[in-house]
Amino acid sequence: MTRRIRAKISTGTYFELTEWMKQYTAHFGNFYRNALMNLALGEIHNIPRSWLLAFKHAYKGDMTFYINFALGMSAHIGRDLGITLSELDPLGMNATAKKSDSQKVNNIIHNCSLELITALTDFYAPVLNLTNWKTLLYLTLDTFTDVLRGIAWNNAVFIASYPVANKTAIRIMDADAWILGETLVALAPLFRALRQYERSFPFEHFCTVVPWGCA
């Protein structure tokens, strides 16, 4: 997904503010990298609660690929994106173009979502026929993403407008992302058979299942 966004940036024509989008993607990615680095260093107290939830279940291996993906999205978009945008002047010069460019990312994500659902439908076919559910799963993932990204933009505008509330807003965003994550975890028993099937494959296999791999 990151590669797709970078490819669009490199065209120099897809986004209105190419340089701003370069800052956007680099700054946004750093939140995930920092969370992962703190995990590697054992500095658990420095990991946002929403990311800690995602890492915990990835380590335990008790969630399906789909839910692990959603947990990461919840933390990265539900928490990190709002902070990222708030620090890139969403209300200043070219505010309309910035919002437009941020929304254009949705189109890239939609294409990736369709590929993900198609790939997983094929992957799970031996144990579960999801063909008739494919459209619903795609729309659910797209709606989930669009709503989270819309909320992230609104949070960014709020933080930029009221910087004195920065720390409180970030805590609330992290708590909201954590609650959403716990809701996803609660659904895990419904997909126990799929998780059992996934366990018959090495983790690296999932990097080949999805067309855009693990990047």
The model's pLDDT over 105-149, given as tens digits with 9 standing for 90+, comes to 999 999 988 888 888 889 999 988 888 888 888 888 889 899 999
Whether the CB-CB separation of 180 and 78 falls below 8 Å is answered with yes
* pTM score, whole prediction: 0.90
Residues 6+ apart with CB under 8 A from 88: 20, 23, 24, 27, 98
Domain range list for the chain: 2-209
Whether residue 38 has pLDDT greater than 60: yes
Whether the Cβ atoms of residue 99 and residue 15 lie closer than 8 Å to each other: no
What's the pLDDT score for residue 51? Answer: 98
Q: Which distant-in-sequence residues (6+ apart) come within 8 Å of 163 by Cβ? A: none
What six digits make up the tokens of 137? 């799963």
Least reliable range by pLDDT among 2-16, 45-59, 177-191, 192-206: 192-206
Q: Is 3 exposed, middle or buried (0-12, 13-18, 19+ CB in 10 A)?
A: exposed
- End-to-end alpha-carbon separation of the chain, Å? 6
Residue 180 to residue 202: CA distance in whole angstroms: 28
| Contact in structure between 136 and 117 (CB atoms under 8 Å) | no
| Mean pLDDT over the full length of the chain | 92
Q: Is the CB of residue 127 less than 8 Å from the CB of residue 193?
A: yes
The top-scoring range by mean pLDDT among 40-49, 65-74, 87-96 is 40-49
